[in-house]
Amino acid sequence: MVVAPVEGEEYRMGRYTGPQCHLCRYLNEKLMLKGERCSSPKCPIEKKNASSRGRFQGRAPKISDRGLQLRAKQKVRFSYGMLERQFRRFFSEAARADGNTGSNLRILLERRLDNVVYRLGFGDSRAQARQITNHNHIMVNGRRVNIPSFLVKSGDVITWSPSSKKTELYKTVVEKVKAVTIPGWLSLDEEKMEGAVLALPAEGDFMAEYDMASIIEYYSR
């Protein structure tokens, strides 16, 4: 059994600094937190499945409704690399807005700059995208923005800073970005390495399935 991560020593400067794979093992599913490694045989989930194949697994422990709600919330929080306090603040903002709270929350999460950098293919994972943002590599509408939680809006243009284009990281990203599938609410000019927010994300633009109803129930208690 994998113990649930605790917001203590493994959390620094508003982010989780412990082993990323520990989060996937806790939920027993891939969250794609480490980019290409998650799709390789090196993934601990893959290793676990390979080693247990053909063995008697026994009966899985029963999880309460509250436990299922917690797991649904943790899955989203871990996926976007957020601490509980920040995630709860996003949920409160989504609940105050007009419309469906679950959809509002997903839209807010997708609008985070570190997520947009990831969706544009500038980072292999949200964790790397967050680091790229923190290190002043990204500009929004011609101005450097190093706040991962910055919310983009329709019409924003995301580019690399001129100095960052001289780095080996940038050269690597230029080669990899060609294979990235860009969601419909974003666009990317590969020659200029310039991304644009065409519109706010809609329900059909989300690339992963989350149980938003359980999250709403979790915070409603």
pLDDT at 194: 98
Same domain, residue pair 157 and 72: no
Range of the domain at 159: 112-200
Average pLDDT over residues 121-127: 94
Give pLDDT tens digits for 138-189.
Answer: 999 999 999 999 999 999 999 999 999 999 999 999 999 999 999 999 999 9
pLDDT tens readout for residues 29-68: 655 555 565 455 555 555 555 555 545 455 667 889 999 9
Q: Is there a single domain that holds both residue 216 and residue 178? A: no
Q: Quick check: is 57 in a domain? A: no
List the Cα angle 122/200/175 in 5-degree steps. Answer: 15
Q: Are residues 89 and 163 in the same domain?
A: no
- The residues near 30 (Cβ < 8 Å, ≥ 6 apart) are 24, 38, 43, 45
User: How many independent structural domains does the chain possess?
Assistant: 2
pTM, to two decimals: 0.78
Q: Tokens at residue 204, please?
A: 């059909």
